[in-house]
Chain A
């Protein structure tokens, strides 16, 4: 057959490098609803749920049991289940029905019913729902701060720049896991240089992550993964009960925590039990609520290639974000993993969270070039900063970032790099040269920086753990080396752990360490003229992008 030049041209487009697959419910390759999903049902006897979504109590797996015992409001459930799914879907989009009314009704429905409700909503209606149901009034954003070399100096500099650009939370992780203590320290310091009050975490193996948190080297945690089938939980040596216990361990030390889940993980693990991605994710979200977590990072997250490959997969991703919000959870809505070779497709996918606003639109945005992103690439990276700022300006939408000046970027990067250099020296950790500080200050990514002595760094990392270095040691080292202002900021972050207010749903801190959460600044959207609006000084800030034509120059 002679090939059509038109079709040949289209075949070469970036979108055709993406992986697509037909629906295959038996293997879980189905987004919104599977023929094997259960029908909604509930039965309460003597104050106990004895039937859940077609299963009797003696047939429950441990997820069913956990949900029945801890995640559904037993007093409300029979009344809530009596309301038709269509009616609930309409209430979600109805500007005359308040968030509170919807959330209270939803507290009584089962996972299968939730799936039914979501299937009535198209993407615009799902966005309307998110705009109203999101917990915190003001949307927010989170960054990934990582690099290919696990270079702590670059982490500090990128952390400082990211904080200055507006991210409310920053998350790091490592290529070499043993770097964790150095990464955590560098990010803690860097973030407080860029903007006081930014929360930081270090995604690591669970026990290490907990230890770093307890020592005050991080200020929140996010990587507590839950799954929608028993098999995947067991594979990870876990149960909903063990996750609830881990959650309590963080809470006991006053640390903010959210869980992580998302469509496709069960498919990737080969244990989807033939259920739809949305149904399995609903089970995860109910487990999260039952375990007492204030929030979740979801929206497929690192498994985005799976829902992204099936029909309606991206609608499903937004639906699962909305389910989280409907259950009263803070939602850090993913957008954090490279998803498509097509710039058009990856941008469109993000608009579903960007336009309505979520608690954290990205979880997170790569605040370094994607080649340095050790979460295997985010959907947006440092090279997209200006595009993102223009999108905020075009649509008068608050995406959580702001335009910056080059002078200030250089200043905060340099200060953070120097502070980490001083702290490492003060604590007797691996040496950081002046040349490295200089190169990192002006760098775009790790291709522009000198190599680190990995062996010395790893010995220092081990030393941090062995010597029991804590957040207080970091404060002291900063103060002793002339960085009193950063020492004050880090100390204020540690104080939050004692006060505990930032453990409320959807909490972030402003530059004066005031908590902004779903409790003291709740989302009060009820249609035009209400809720969060981009106006005043924030709008002026968003308008003020670089590269604006000066009419006087013409």
Chain B
């Protein structure tokens, strides 16, 4: 049995090597790559949006861009940065899987004197030209103001927080706190995590409704949780209880159009991608860049929802 096990391992290894070989020959052909973009994942429409923006900008400038997907694995990101440096790219854009774990990947580019800019998340070390990210804090403030306006400046509000420990959860929550402080009539009665997940948003909202009477407003740190909360609220969503989300996903925008969500704060992933290509090229020309570039977020309400599709 042991021998058979070894045979299986060997054949699995052969398959793996074949697979990797096919995978790498699939991209990287033709040479003369100008830019590299190492994405954390493409399992999420937001990052697909970044990819589209970066591709469009590179195409407009007649540049060739190599875009890789690390499948949320920081180690793969290091390998991909090594690929970029051996392709002699002018500059590399990294969308870190994790701000700490991306330091070695940035180190790879630094040693090869390839300028690096990061997108969506920062890098806690190495030399990074600039970090291009959505202004999540400002988005939180916008959400607070739009919720307060919908409530006429008075009401009892619950907050559905994102996955604890992520920068998006922290920054959006912080922005909302700051924004809501401008409205003394708004009372935040509970703040609970629902991990950016629709099903959890629904369950946590149902639980909070048991503990807190007279809730009139909800801020959810992403649209998925907002849609879950709206489901738990049933017919009072958009009526007695105003719900504001974040992200501007197609589902979220559709819900804004039909009135279940009062508003959502849309990020502009394609603009992020375009900006990243632009800043990476400036870094390659040796320009000095600000430490961070904040790409504005947009409040989507019933009035302007049509412009965002959905």
Asked if A pairs with B, the answer is no
B binding-site residues for A, Cβ under 8 Å? none
